[in-house]
Chain A
Amino acid sequence: GAVVSQHPSWVICKSGTSVKIECRSLDFQATTMFWYRQFPKQSLMLMATSNEGSKATYEQGVEKDKFLINHASLTLSTLTVTSAHPEDSSFYICSARPPLDRGYEQYFGPGTRLTVT
């Protein structure tokens, strides 16, 4: 199956600082990547759709100035949590959609656990 990596796998930062999370598709080109947030023992909530070469599309209620997304290439999308606060502490997961000839499923990264102190 396809491989998606995320970096870092965990990060601890202080309130007010910014944190960047990278999502890479390792063996396929992904024109579309997705960013999710997951609270403990809860489901995944879609935050935004990241499209290569264009602006990200954010879900209702997600602050675009707080969660900056850049899809710099066909294999890399980054999520920057700006001016992080303790309530931003969460598990962030990205997924990538391969070309349609490889099916409709998405391939997920291992996730990044963010703790804001």
Chain B
Amino acid sequence: SQQGEEDPQALSIQEGENATMNCSYKTSINNLQWYRQNSGRGLVHLILIRSNEREKHSGRLRVTLDTSKKSSSLLITASRAADTASYFCATDRGGNYKLSFGAGTTVTVRA
């Protein structure tokens, strides 16, 4: 079942701008993961942040995690047209490795 909510639902930005999306969840987690999905395709893993971490970087991606607020954010800097996709957060509560996905944020980067 879904335990996460994401906002905004949709985001339209100009190439070169930053994109920020947020994810909230309800129960304690082992880790939180962000995935990207291009239209009609499978998911690509972007970054994983463990429950004892507060911030993580990977290239143009920056993820933060606030376990006290049960929320995470994904920042994409200097966006490109190729970043146009849907982005999902997924929480892993540990034990059985099942992921619960948020509703997703659709990002459109205008050239």
Contact = CB atoms under 8 A, between A and B. Distances in A.
B43 A93 contact: yes
Contact of B98 (A1, A49, A108): A49
Interface residues of A, number: 28
B68 interface: no
Contacts of A4: 42
Contact of B33 (A44, A60, A105): A105
Contacts of A32: 97
Interface of B: 1-2, 30-31, 33, 35, 40-45, 48, 88, 92, 96-104, 106
A60 B35 CA distance: 24
B48 to A, nearest CB: 5
A63 B106 CA distance: 31
A43 B98 CA distance: 15
A91 B41 CA distance: 9
A44 B1 CA distance: 9
A104 B92 contact: yes
Contacts of B33: 104-105
A49 B98 CA distance: 8
19 contacts: A6-B42, A34-B99, A42-B104, A43-B88, A43-B101, A43-B104, A45-B2, A46-B1, A49-B96, A59-B1, A60-B1, A93-B43, A104-B92, A105-B33, A106-B45, A106-B99, A109-B42, A110-B42, A111-B40
A34 B98 contact: yes
B63 to A, nearest CB: 13
